[in-house]
Amino acid sequence: MTVTWTSGYGINDAGDFVEWCPKGGDQVDEADGSNEYNNFQCGSLNTTRELIRDLKNIDIVFFIGDICYANGYISQWDQFRAQVEPIASTVPYMIASGNHEHDWPGTGSFCGNMDSGGECGVLVETMFYVPAENRAKFCYSTDYDMFHFCIANIEHDWREGTEQYKFIEHCLASVDRQKQPWLIFLAH
């Protein structure tokens, strides 16, 4: 099993540590990938390095929100795009918008926070392709082999009766389960 997560901006901010427990068992604290985990990394640079290292075994990547925590600093986007280029240029690299890409008061954000640093979804919507009819809404569906993916944007209103609710309902109901028996819903 590979366990990955992001815990900081720089390679020195990432420390290898995880707490886990077997079902019904006692908590185990691990460092440096010992015991049950044969490979675990933290930090975006470590995660990217491991994905690149194992790229021949990867068919598709989904990055579900809080893409690079740029918070209004475009140089962070440039750095991130350069970091993931070896992956995104080799396999499908699908993303979903999160609060750090979209949330800003008065922009239609469901939460109304200031998490995006003023980006308001503009950068994530223009820097990455997704097969959405309306890229500003950033919800879409896509098929990959036996899988049908339904990607929602919970930074927009998804309550019953809303446009996104109707999209999700249609996405889940319209899949041909003979062609794509695996239905996967993703949202940040």
**Tokens found for residue 47:** 């995660």
Q: Are residues 27 and 107 in the same domain?
A: no
Query: How does the average pLDDT of the chain come out, rounded?
Result: 79
Q: Are residues 71 and 24 in the same domain?
A: no
Q: What CATH number corresponds to the domain at position 161?
A: 3.60.21.10
- Over residues 25-63, the pLDDT tens digits come to 776 655 544 333 334 444 566 778 888 989 999 999 998
**What does 68-98 look like in DSSP terms, one character per residue?**
S--TT-HHHHHHHHHHHHHHHTTS-EEEE--
Q: Are residues 104 and 12 in the same domain?
A: no
Once rounded to an integer, what is the mean pLDDT over residues 2-14? 51
Boundary of a domain, candidates 19, 40, 57: 57
pLDDT value of residue 27: 65
Boundary of a domain, candidates 18, 40, 57: 57
Q: Are residues 52 and 138 in the same domain?
A: no
Higher pLDDT, 81 or 135: 81
Q: Are residues 67 and 139 in the same domain?
A: yes
Q: Are residues 75 and 129 in the same domain?
A: yes
If one counts the domains in the chain, the total is 2
Residue 96 has pLDDT above 80, yes or no: yes
Q: Which residue has the tokens 């990955």?
A: 4
pLDDT value of residue 134: 75
Q: Are residues 129 and 44 in the same domain?
A: no
Q: Are residues 71 and 31 in the same domain?
A: no
pTM: 0.70
Task: Report d(CA 162, CA 119) in Å as an integer.
Answer: 24
Residue 79 has pLDDT above 80, yes or no: yes
The number of beta carbons lying within 10 Å of the beta carbon of residue 7 is 13
Residue 187: domain span: 59-188
Q: Using 50, 70 and 90 to split pLDDT, how confident is the model at 188?
A: confident
- Over residues 127-175, the pLDDT tens digits come to 888 888 877 777 899 999 999 999 998 888 889 999 999 999 999 999 9
Higher pLDDT, 57 or 19: 57
Q: Are residues 101 and 33 in the same domain?
A: no
Q: Are residues 153 and 68 in the same domain?
A: yes
The answer to whether 94 touches 62, Cβ cutoff 8 Å, is yes
Residues 6+ apart with CB under 8 A from 119: 70, 71, 72, 101, 102, 104
Boundary of a domain, candidates 41, 57, 73: 57
Q: Are residues 173 and 153 in the same domain?
A: yes
In terms of DSSP bridges, do strands 2-5 and 39-42 run parallel, antiparallel, or are they unpaired?
parallel
Residue 102 has pLDDT above 50, yes or no: yes
**What does 13-54 look like in DSSP terms, one character per residue?**
G---EEEE--TTS--EEEETT-TT-SEEEESHHHHHHHHHHT
Q: Are residues 63 and 52 in the same domain?
A: no
Q: Using 50, 70 and 90 to split pLDDT, how confident is the model at 104?
A: confident
Q: Using 50, 70 and 90 to split pLDDT, how confident is the model at 116?
A: confident
In terms of DSSP bridges, do strands 61-64 and 17-20 run parallel, antiparallel, or are they unpaired?
unpaired
